[in-house]
Chain A
Amino acid sequence: MSLVSVRNLTRIFDVSKPWLNRVIERRPRALLTAVSDVSFEIEERTVYALVGESGSGKSTIGKMLVGLLAPSDGVVDIRGVDLSRETDAEKVDAVRADIQMIFQDPFASLNPRWRVRDIIVEPVAARGGETAGLAERLLEQVGLSARDAGKFPHEFSGGQRQRICIARALASEPKLIVCDEPTSALDVSVQAQVLNLMSDLKDEFGLTYLFISHDLTVVQHMADRIGVLYLGRLVEEAAPSELFENPKHPYTQMLLAAAPKLDGFGREVAPPTGEIPDPINPPPGCAYNPRCPLAQAVCREERPVLRNVGGARVACHMVD
């Protein structure tokens, strides 16, 4: 059974101007659909990656999974518990305790006035758990030293701070960690260290990751399954080898072609055309239709549903 099941997940933000401005300027309410009808499953002990350009809804999905944001519609089901509808508080708490999150910015997510020890054990202490020696043990597990427990965050480099964030996430022995661009702020040599650490910890503790990134190369390296988002919609989902060798959705194809290649010496490809549309007024039908080389009349009228195509799932009228 899958650990996480996300069904028809939707999140709409009200981005209207204040009421009085709307009346004076005669503007309608503005609703921004950040995530639209997204469904996917995450198997236990696997890495599911969400990839997409900025504003595609990755962080919003991550936040709904950990309960930082409520869905406007749809279901987040973890270990059989529907988090937004379950009324048994104990059940919800138990599931919540199994989920942790790591963010992109290890500077912003650590309280500068707390010692590393207190930062790491905080999630456990908050539940009244046993914390003696916990921080020291976890620090060694993430490649720092037990002595670091007494220091403050500013004494560490970016990569070391991300290790501290990982130690804190591990403290409550979670099953699922939502990692939102965990290495995007790090240099590539430090990124390699942190990604290796995350792989090791996953094996050691039997963790499951929802791994969010805009970096295709990182996602390709880390993921067992990849979902590609465009304007809040899941447009393609496949295993990494399938996705990179045989991308099916025109947007995925464009994204892969645009990504710079390490051996792409002097490569001249026609760059992609157009820009990501305004999420408040998305194009009708397939959101990619204004930029898509394959688009036909149906693409401007009907939203394509995500269908099985071989081992992948693809939302495109023209793929079969």
Chain B
Amino acid sequence: MSAPTLSIRDLTVDIPTRHGVLRPVSGVSYDIAPGEILGVVGESGAGKSMAGNAVIGLLSPPAHISAGEIHLNGTRIDPLKGEAMRRLRGKEIGMVFQDPLTSLNPLLKIGDQLSETMLAHLDISQSEARTRAIAALDEVGIPGAAQRVDSYPHEFSGGMRQRVVIALALCAEPSLIIADEPTTALDVSVQAQIIALLKRLCRERGTAVMLITHDMGVIAEACDRVAVMYAGKLVELGPVRDVLSAPLHPYTDGLMGSTPLASRGKDRLHQIPGAMPRLDSLPTGCAFHPRCPRASDQCRVDPGPAIEDGAGRAACFFPINREAVA
């Protein structure tokens, strides 16, 4: 296997508050290989965005990385600050967020935004940058790219804007893309277009992708592997087909079961009782234990096993024994 593009080890993010320290990300480890799409899934508040923002140095204070390491192409990047981090972000890591307008300057023509980014990070001329900007827009499926290059962001539909953002994220030829809910605000037909585009471009270029989403269907169709998060922790990590069709962690199992698709033909949906705990009142032991049908006394006191990348798949004392189930 080739060396990973991104390697996260024991990543922990803390938020000091007047009432104590909150820990939205706790001891998370995973790798993403070149050309691989890793899905990060979990319900809101699981810490998915915090983990992504930690990688790109976009945690808003007082949130900060309190432990762990992040390596990009073999170089440790978590200690980088200010200008060094900004350069890395533009050149080596591309970003796509839920709202395309957060990534676009409303006052600049989209062609100029693309050119600016390329000129800052690639050794090319002004006219070369413009040619490449048009090619980039064409590649992401903007009809009439040669004319549209001089349009402003507000002149595009939501789906077209997200295409522009993808062009922008990829134009400096980064080795990693972090896409945080890139299709959550879009209709399903537009979502299908954007996901297909992201998949194709990253495969062609060997870009590693961290695809953050709460949508299990998107994970199934787009990702090679999936990381399931719950209350700041990684609870299951493995190949997408294995994790989704035969989950080992009771939370993954419950999540899959409660999607209407999985209960097709049944009168009632499978239910996990309760809701994700708040960070200021995390349960002791395994954070999932109050909602878990398999919890024992041990789960109530012991935080449980952590996942080492490549070793165990589920962070659980009593993972679902698939052989016994089958």
Interface residues of A (CB under 8 A from B): 53-54, 157, 159, 187-193, 195-196, 199, 214-218, 220-221, 254-255, 257-269, 271-272, 275-276
Chain A residues lying within 8 Å of B254, measured Cβ to Cβ, are: 189
| Beta-carbon contact of A265 and B241 below 8 Å | yes
Q: A218-B260, A261-B217 are in contact. List 6 more A-B contacts (CB 8 A).
A: A187-B275, A221-B269, A258-B189, A265-B221, A275-B157, A276-B187
Q: Is B80 an interface residue (CB 8 A)?
A: no
Q: Which residue from chain A places its CB closest to the CB of B45 in the assembled complex? A: A187
B304 to chain A, nearest CB (A): 20
With contact pairs A188-B259, A189-B271, A192-B271 given, residues A258 and B220 touching in the complex (Cβ less than 8 Å): no
Q: Which residue from chain A places its CB closest to the CB of B276 in the assembled complex? A: A187
Whole-angstrom CA separation of A215 from B220 in the bound complex: 17
Chain A residues lying within 8 Å of B195, measured Cβ to Cβ, are: 260, 271
Interface residues of B (CB under 8 A from A): 43-44, 157, 159-160, 187-193, 195-197, 199, 214-218, 220-221, 240-241, 244-245, 254-256, 258-264, 267-273, 275-276
| Beta-carbon contact of A187 and B189 below 8 Å | no
| Beta-carbon contact of B275 and A262 below 8 Å | no
B45 to chain A, nearest CB (A): 9
**Interface-central residue, B190, B197, B254, by most chain A CB under 10 Å:** B190
| Beta-carbon contact of A261 and B220 below 8 Å | yes
Chain B residues lying within 8 Å of A188, measured Cβ to Cβ, are: 43, 214, 216, 255, 258-259
> Binding site of B, secondary structure by majority: helix, strand, loop or mixed?
helix
Chain A residues lying within 8 Å of B193, measured Cβ to Cβ, are: 271-272
With contact pairs A190-B275, A192-B271, A193-B271 given, residues A258 and B188 touching in the complex (Cβ less than 8 Å): yes
| Beta-carbon contact of B240 and A258 below 8 Å | no
Instruction: Identify which of B160, B192, B214, B263 contacts A258 (C-beta below 8 A).
Output: B192
With contact pairs A187-B44, A187-B276, A199-B268 given, residues A262 and B256 touching in the complex (Cβ less than 8 Å): yes
| Beta-carbon contact of B261 and A217 below 8 Å | yes
Whole-angstrom CA separation of A276 from B218 in the bound complex: 22
Chain B residues lying within 8 Å of A217, measured Cβ to Cβ, are: 259-261
A219 to chain B, nearest CB (A): 9
- A-B residue pairs in contact (CB < 8 Å), sample of 14: A196-B268, A199-B268, A217-B259, A220-B260, A257-B192, A259-B217, A260-B192, A260-B195, A260-B220, A262-B244, A265-B220, A267-B220, A267-B221, A268-B196
| Beta-carbon contact of B258 and A192 below 8 Å | yes
| Beta-carbon contact of B221 and A261 below 8 Å | yes
Instruction: Identify which of B190, B217, B258 contacts A191 (C-beta below 8 A).
Output: B258
Chain A residues lying within 8 Å of B192, measured Cβ to Cβ, are: 257-260, 269, 271-272
Q: Which residue from chain A places its CB closest to the CB of B190 in the assembled complex? A: A275
Chain A residues lying within 8 Å of B187, measured Cβ to Cβ, are: 53-54, 214, 276
| Beta-carbon contact of B44 and A271 below 8 Å | no
Whole-angstrom CA separation of A21 from B43 in the bound complex: 47
Q: Which residue from chain A places its CB closest to the CB of B278 in the assembled complex? A: A157
| Beta-carbon contact of B261 and A261 below 8 Å | yes
B1 to chain A, nearest CB (A): 19
Chain B residues lying within 8 Å of A257, measured Cβ to Cβ, are: 192
| Beta-carbon contact of A264 and B190 below 8 Å | no
| Beta-carbon contact of A260 and B189 below 8 Å | no
B239 to chain A, nearest CB (A): 9
